[in-house]
Structure 1
Amino acid sequence: MLLGVLLTWALIAYLRGLLRADPAPALHGAGLALVVLNAVMLALLGSGIWFGRESGAPHRRLGVVLLLGALGTAMALYALAPDVGSGFFISMAGLWMLLMWLPVPGGITVSALTIAVIGGLGEVFASGGADLGQMAAVAGITLGALASRRGKAAQEATRRAEAANAVLAERSHIAREIHDILAHSLSAQIVHLEGRGCCWRGTATASRPWTGSSAHGTSPAPAWRRPGGPWPRSAGRYRSPKRSSRSSPRSSTPVPGGPATCA
């Protein structure tokens, strides 16, 4: 917006100054020099802005060099026609671009040299001395460009901070997801290992030989402690044979695997 206003103002001032220039544009003498210098300045200014619009180092350096040449040509036009200063007004766009592209110390140096050259040329060639209005215009362009540059730097810093915060938030989210997955996995492994430990202890206890004893002697091993497994249900049962007149009164048939019977 500001750059467009400056370009429009510079173009209008340039056309008015060129028509009222002394010497007037012509095809010989000082008039021809005026036309050539204007053409060279416009060519350098346009090509410098065109090449410098890219952020690449080779193109930006070439643009800076061309814009510096445009400023030098504008100073030559000011020396040729100091009362008009048409070349100076149109070169304000180049000065703005230099202040935006160069480092801050370099931009301030270019601006200070421009003010000094305008003052010196005005004292030498102008009838009324140095043009303070043009010098003030250069100072205003410098301050405006520096303020705009600082605003862009603040916006860039804000954008980078927002991007860094977004990255940190995404990393925190991923870390929480990994933590939850690992916690669930470890919990399941712990429960699984505890279950296997209980099963192992039960198997080891069941495989031991029974050594228990009672007051009446060694008692038979419980079913869950016998290596061969539990006895059949009929193993501990036996029936006394029915007495008959033909069998002996005290005879009995022992049951294999059961307790012994006394005769």
Structure 2
Amino acid sequence: MHVLILGGTTEARRLAELLAGEAGLRVTSSLAGRVAAPRLPPGEVRVGGFGGVDGLADWLREHRVDALIDATHPFAGTISANAAAAAALAHVPPLALRRPGWVAADGDDWRPVGSLEEAARALPGLGSRVFLTTGRMGLAAFAGPELAGLWFLVRSVDAPERPIPARVEVLLDRGPFTLDGERELLRRHRIDVVVTKDSGGSATAPKLVAAREAGVPVVVVRRPPGPEGVAAVATPGEAVAWVRLLGG
């Protein structure tokens, strides 16, 4: 049985580790190639795109894939849509592995928005020193002249793509992050507003606790809905159970 994992996340790596111990399984993990030095999972690994829906469908047929698990980032909407469509074309059962989103706690000051552009429009009046943790792509939304008076601390694994905000300091770092470290970062840079995507998971959640403790508002970009008709699970263990059930 051949399982293709669309990966790049902590959950995808953990799923590949769990499936590597299953008898009678061939596991291939596909990485988009957007990170210069990704953490490679066990098993076969391919890097790069497939060429859209038709290219992925052809790959599924050519490599005789029996199950497709989309374990990409919750905000990788295009990839998830393409995966669902390709699986339907190739008649391969799909599954989405999605970590649960974050839930606000008592004392949180969250400002939910629907996009990076909405997040940028929400910033004036909230603060002047922004901790921007939305990744290296899409920073053009914060590069407009209307935000020229704000200072940004941008944290990402690799150097961000331009255009970027006019007044910016780039911090290249990879999670997981600690609560003490996030507290010190907010204090040292005098951060008074945080912008994040609702990625979920524990690796980057400490910034939310640090912001709550400091009374700092957090602009939270809501995650997009997943493709219709694709079953979803929240943990790698549940995905393994799905594969076992599929294999009979």
Name the TM-score class by shorter chain. Answer: under 0.3
Structure scoring higher RCO (CA < 8 A, sep ≥ 6) equals 2
Q: Decide which structure has the larger Cα Rg and report it.
A: 1
The structure richer in strand per residue is: 2
- TM-score, normalized by length of structure 2? 0.28
- TM-score of the pair, normalised by structure 1: 0.27
